[in-house]
Amino acid sequence: MPEDWNILTLENAMESIIDYRGKTPKKTDSGIPLITAKIVKNGRILEPNEFISPQDYESWMRRGLPKPGDVVITTEAPMGEVAQLDERKVALAQRLITLRGKKGMLHNNFLRFVLQSPNVENELKKRESGTTVTGIKQKELRKALLPIPPYDEQIKLSEILISLDNKIDLNRQMNSTLEQIAQTLFKRWFIDFEFPDENGNPYKSSGGRVVNSELGEIPEGWKVKQIGDICETFGGGTPKTSEPSYWEGGDVFWATPTDMTSLNSPVIFDTSRKITEKGLLNSSAKLLPPGSILMTSRATLGYFAITKVPISTNQGFISMVCDDRVSNYYLLNAVKNNMEEIENLAGGSTFLEINKTSFRSIKIILPPKNIMDKFDENADFIYEKIFHNELEIKRLAEIRDSLLPKLMSGKIRVQV
């Protein structure tokens, strides 16, 4: 560690430590967003889906009100997830501690990153306790040792990492907008039936003929088909985990529902675990071609993605492979648009699951191929842009993650 850096306990570097352990606040359908431990992930706070009433806010937050820029850290399940609060007024739930560095000593931006550095993560890990669920108590968190560079250097170090995070966030926002555009285009063409007719005019509002079908009115010449009639469907499998040759050194992508729930957009080109060719051959997993559509079919039901590389899956999926008669972009959006029926057909007491037979029986509208081809001309551009943005996000995250431990330990210095 550089000579001009200090080592301080977290307690001695903090202006404020607020622990929200205790009762769970009464939830409401709207109001002040409630930040829970489960939405603090990978240095970010995901969009809150729980709220408390403004009337309950001050009584619940009586231990201290959070300020923009404060750092939150999860204390268990899992321990050590870190993020920084923005300008929104929020409430904090249990299993979160809010930290605020002392002015002039510890900048909150630096605090956020140093808590994510390997050395400090290991320091926290040594101090956790518990058997079934491990976590860290406030008194142990206070004892954790932090490397503290000069204040001006903290600001400069943080700026480097923040610039990478900002570019990642910009790409995520762009992808969210692109996905909304794709969904709007799908709705206009295949739900409102305002696709361009032979003269380039909106079909239905320009007098295009519609006929009755078992799914309601559809344009003349369109059909109603079961999903199983227009694509192949596959399950997945897990190679025996006790057999090292099925896993060690594997380069076959193998998706689990966790890979799907962690996606920021509906394209998948990497997986957290990989299997070997031998593992693939000795299990019920199938290698699916690029352009396949993955759908989680159990527990976390109804997460979708289109594959950009050959991928296999575990048994928590139903995967769809189209031939050249059907647009995979059309099918992706058409199946997503049938989530209500998918959920109605799913069974299970512990968690929802839909089987392949029930899924294949779901009926959807099938447009003529020339209409799907025109849709693909637009959709392909959108999803390719999403894919390239995701590749850049991955590259930027790798750069950030390689720089972070070096910057936080003084192995790389910055000029102030």
* 10/103 same-domain check: yes
Cis, bond preceding 219 (omega within 30 deg of 0): no
Query: Structurally, how many domains does the chain consist of?
Result: 2
Mean pLDDT of 169-184: 97
pLDDT band per the 50, 70, 90 thresholds, residue 220: very high
Is 113 contained in some domain? Answer: yes
Mean pLDDT of 100-106: 97
Is 74 contained in some domain? Answer: yes
DSSP 33-72: EEE-GGGEETTEEPPP--EE-HHHHHHHTTT----TT-EE
pLDDT at 350: 82
* 227/137 same-domain check: no
Query: Please, what is the Cα angle at 399 between 395 and 400, to 5 degrees?
Result: 115
pLDDT tens, residue by residue, 274-314? 999 999 999 999 999 999 999 999 988 999 999 999 999 99
Is 278 contained in some domain? Answer: yes
Domain of 313 in residue numbering reads as 223-366
Mean pLDDT of 85-100: 93
pLDDT band per the 50, 70, 90 thresholds, residue 233: very high
Mean pLDDT of 46-70: 89
* 140/233 same-domain check: no
Cα 159 to chain center, whole Å? 25
Q: Residues 6 or more apart from 57 whose CB is under 8 A from it?
A: 32, 91
Q: Which of 254, 261, 324, 247 is nearest to 285 (CA)?
A: 254
Task: State the average pLDDT for the chain.
Answer: 95
pLDDT at 130: 86
CATH of the domain at 60: 3.90.220.20
Q: Which of 110, 126, 148 is the last residue of a domain?
A: 148
Tokens 């991928």 -> residue: 311
Is 330 contained in some domain? Answer: yes
* 228/362 same-domain check: yes
* 106/232 same-domain check: no
pLDDT at 161: 97
Mean pLDDT of 68-95: 93
pLDDT at 60: 80
Is 414 contained in some domain? Answer: no
pLDDT band per the 50, 70, 90 thresholds, residue 260: very high
Is 342 contained in some domain? Answer: yes
Mean pLDDT of 65-90: 94
The pTM (predicted TM-score) of the whole model is 0.89
* 114/234 same-domain check: no
Is 137 contained in some domain? Answer: yes
Per-residue pLDDT at 77 exceeds 90: no
Q: Which of 264, 265, 267, 286 is nearest to 275 (CA)?
A: 286
163 close to 155: Cβ distance less than 8 angstroms:
no
* 238/352 same-domain check: yes
Q: Which of 366, 386, 403 is the last residue of a domain?
A: 366
* 11/135 same-domain check: yes
Q: Which of 148, 164, 182 is the last residue of a domain?
A: 148
